[in-house]
Structure 1
Amino acid sequence: IGDPSYFGAGSNDVGKVRVVEEGKVVRAICLLNHPIPGTDDLDSVQLIIPQNQVSRKNDIYIAMVSSTHNVCAKDVYVAIVSTIVETSAPENEIQPGLALLGPILDKFVSVTPLYTPTSDGRDDNIFITDSYDATSHFETVVEVVQDVWKRVIGSDLILKKREVEAEP
């Protein structure tokens, strides 16, 4: 089982194409010294800018976490803004999201390919996931995990709360 970045786009030494590039994601990781303005100073936020509000085909996702989550120092906030690339100027595409953040201390922008596997892996026992997409709510990650589980095990992944025995 592997992330598609381990398999690269194109062919391997025996000529088999295992993943294809389906697009790109632009993602900015931003360091702030304040919560996102207009969010009641919350220590974590998730915002989605609907595609039709910014004349796009894809939504823009914004997630912010803080020291409350033990991911950064006190009084530091980490915000991530991402979307699917639609133009030749990816950083410009996340500008509506960046504009909501207020002053940014530092920003790290990356553009990464979106790969999908070319087969389900049952023939060669090489099970490849989809790339991590632009979403910030993990819904698609859960779908990918469920899909890989079914391909590997052959049945649906059943997640349910475990019964806990009362301590004496």
Structure 2
Amino acid sequence: MILVMAVDAKWAIGYKGDMLTRIPEDLKHFKEMTMGGVLVMGRKTFDATGALPGRETIIVSRSLKEMEGAHIAHSLDDLREMIKEKFSDKKIFLVGGASLIDQLIDKVDEAEITFIKKDFEPYDTVMRNLDKDEAFELVQTSEEYSYQDMKFEYRRYKRK
């Protein structure tokens, strides 16, 4: 499983159920990376993004019965079974939120992080800092890019 996330300098990822910012170049990068794959997300992340064309979507939710354009996994066991039965030949991308990332981090082999060199205020959702996680190592960093008043780079982490 590949974790894909945009984080700020504090590893914050959201505020009031939405992303902290939208960088057009990063959204294009996300689309190119995930096209043809399977996006795994929680309900709140789905509410923020909806079903994205060219990708399968699995929403992990205990209470959701059905959602147009998405498969529903009611537990992590359901998720594993669904991936095994229906999507074993596809790349699996974990795209949020923070709670689901925490629950599935042991299944993540690689992380593609857009690291925005800015502290966003306000924020209310933070994911674990992979720079401080002994299970992961930073293996690649892109050049630095700019968008409006922000500098950002792409970082790839691999499980040790």
TM-score strictly above 0.5: no
Larger Rg: 1
More helix by share: 2
Compute the TM-score of the two structures, normalised by the length of structure 1.
0.21
* Higher normalized strand content (fraction of residues): 2
Calculate the TM-score normalised by the size of structure 2. Answer: 0.22
